[in-house]
A = this chain, B = another copy of it.
Amino acid sequence: MYEAITIKDIAKALGLSTSTVSRALRGSHEISSETKKMVIEYAEQFNYRPNPIALSLKERRSRSIGVVVCEIANNFFSQAINGIESVAYNRGYHVIISQSHESYDREVVNVEHLASRSVDGLLVSISAETDHFEHFKNLHDKGFPIVFFDRITDTIETHKVVVDNYKGGYDATQHLIDAGYTKIAHLTSASHLSISRERLEGYKAALRDNHIPLNESYIKNCDHGGMIYKELEDAVKSLVNLKDKPDAIFSAGDRLTVSCLAALKAIGLKIPDDIALVGFSNSPLVELMNPSLTAVKQPAFEMGQTATELLIKLIESKRAVTEFEKIVLQTEVVVKDSSANKIPEKNSKTKRVVI
């Protein structure tokens, strides 16, 4: 099978010791220039590459970082991974990906597998099912470098990279209010996720600031984050079947938003005439959708980059790090047709007449 050339092969071929070859290759001054030249030429001719595994063993590091996300086939995460890969590549690190598929058990297995010395550090966005964090805490307490991004936990003190989910939720809701909607429902994923909580808080705050009373029946949690279409469809149906039907929906996740659009289309409701929709989504396609979708965009690529930079800083730090950063990036509301200004209803004509 495939066998590559080693330092030992060079040493044997040239009648030198492995230490001499090693030093020659690294350009040590204690090797004569003729020997160096000879070794380097031979190495180039036979395309010598140091064995990274041997180096890892010696240096006790693998120059690779592990990524644990719920799924790759999701615009937000694939863009984030793109950012991760771009930084890692430039710094000479490999990226090892694993998916939790929103399962706690799978997350634990992946984390343990990666951390058991095959990666130097971990980049994590927590699974929707996960509501306790011992598997991270154990590692972190032992000094293993972890950076959380997107979905984080406050129970572990380390670097974190997030967006301002509160503001994202606030802005989305405020935008709907500005467009004339008042009965705004909120579709979100598992309630214990940091991103869900914060977006919900932003939603509530925007309502409060606009003196719109909070209607608890307008808030729907989908614990599987839209992975199960039925769950989402049921939530949407129960919303539109309410006596006091909402006139807008703010959905707090990519898959949630897309599935919601599909569900509304299936039910036969017109957007935004029957019901408006604003949602978190990082798909570049939403503006080509029918109708084009007002979306809260996250800087996924930058999040990946930033998280990776922080992680590599942790990994390469000589002393144990005790001061941790929490970096908060901004979201952006891209306004399209799905939240067009509300057409005044018939019964509001009276008011107009008054004017």
- For A82, the closest partner residue in chain B by CB is B73
Do B82 and A71 have beta carbons less than 8 Å apart? yes
Say yes or no: is A94 at the interface (Cβ < 8 Å to chain B).
yes
In the complex, the answer to whether B98 meets A96 with C-beta atoms within 8 Å is no
User: Can you list 14 A-B pairs, Cβ within 8 angstroms, ordered by A?
Assistant: A1-B143, A1-B320, A3-B142, A4-B116, A49-B117, A50-B116, A53-B57, A57-B57, A72-B81, A81-B97, A94-B118, A95-B98, A262-B288, A290-B291
| Set of chain B residues within 8 Å of A142, measured between Cβ atoms | 2-4
Partner of A258, one of B74, B81, B262, B288: B288
Quick check: A95 and B96 within 8 Å, CB to CB?
Answer: yes
Known interface pairs A285-B258, A292-B290; A82-B53 also in contact (CB < 8 Å): no
Does A52 touch B at the CB level, under 8 Å? yes
Q: Does A75 contact B (CB under 8 A)?
A: yes
- B residues in contact with A286, CB < 8 Å: 285
**Cα A4 to Cα B283 with chains together (Å):** 41
Q: Which residue of B lies closest to A48 (CB)?
A: B116
Contact of A51 among B2, B117, B265 (CB under 8 A): B117
Copies in the complex: 2
CA distance A137 to B262 in the complex (A): 47
Assess A143 versus B2: contact at CB under 8 Å? Given A78-B72, A118-B94. Answer: yes
Report Cα–Cα, A54/B98, bound state, in Å: 22
- Digitize A306-335: 1 where CB-to-B-CB distance is under 8 Å, 0 elsewhere: 000000000000001000000000000000
On chain A, which size bracket covers the interface?
Answer: 35 or more
Docked-complex contact A85 and B57, CB < 8 angstroms: no
Q: When the two chains form the complex, which single residue of B82, B114, B118 contacts A99, counting CB atoms closer than 8 Å? A: B82
Contacts of A145 in B (CB 8 A): 2
Report B-chain residues with C-beta under 8 Å of the C-beta of A82: 71-73, 99
Counting chain B CB atoms within 10 Å of each CB, which of A73, A99, A284, A320 scores highest?
A73
Instruction: Choose among B49, B75, B117 the residue that contacts A4 (Cβ–Cβ < 8 A).
Output: B117
Q: A4-B117, A99-B82, A118-B94 are in contact. Are A53 and B62 (CB under 8 A)?
A: yes
State in angstroms the CA–CA spacing of A285 and B62 once bound together. 39
Question: What CA separation (Å) do A284 and B227 show in the bound complex?
Answer: 13
Contact partner of A73 (CB less than 8 A), chosen from B56, B71, B78, B261, is B78
A89 on interface, CB distance cutoff 8 Å = yes
In the complex, how many angstroms separate the beta carbon of A251 from the nearest chain B beta carbon? Answer: 14
| CB-defined contacts of A114 to chain B, threshold 8 Å | 94
- In this assembly, does A343 line the interface, its C-beta being within 8 Å of a C-beta of chain B? no
List chain B residues, Cβ under 8 A from A52: 116-118
Q: Which residue of the partner chain, among B50, B99, B258, B288, contacts A261 with CB atoms under 8 Å?
A: B288
Does A189 sit within 8 A of B, measured CB to CB?
no
Tell me the complex Cα distance, A62–B62, Å. 12
Q: Which residues of B contact A81 (CB under 8 A)?
A: 72-73, 97
| Chain B neighbourhood of A89, CB < 8 A | 98
Closest to A51 in B: B117
CB-nearest residue of chain B to A315: B1
A89 to chain B, nearest CB (A): 7
**Which B residues touch A96, using CB under 8 A?**
64, 94-97
- Does chain B have a CB within 8 A of A289? yes
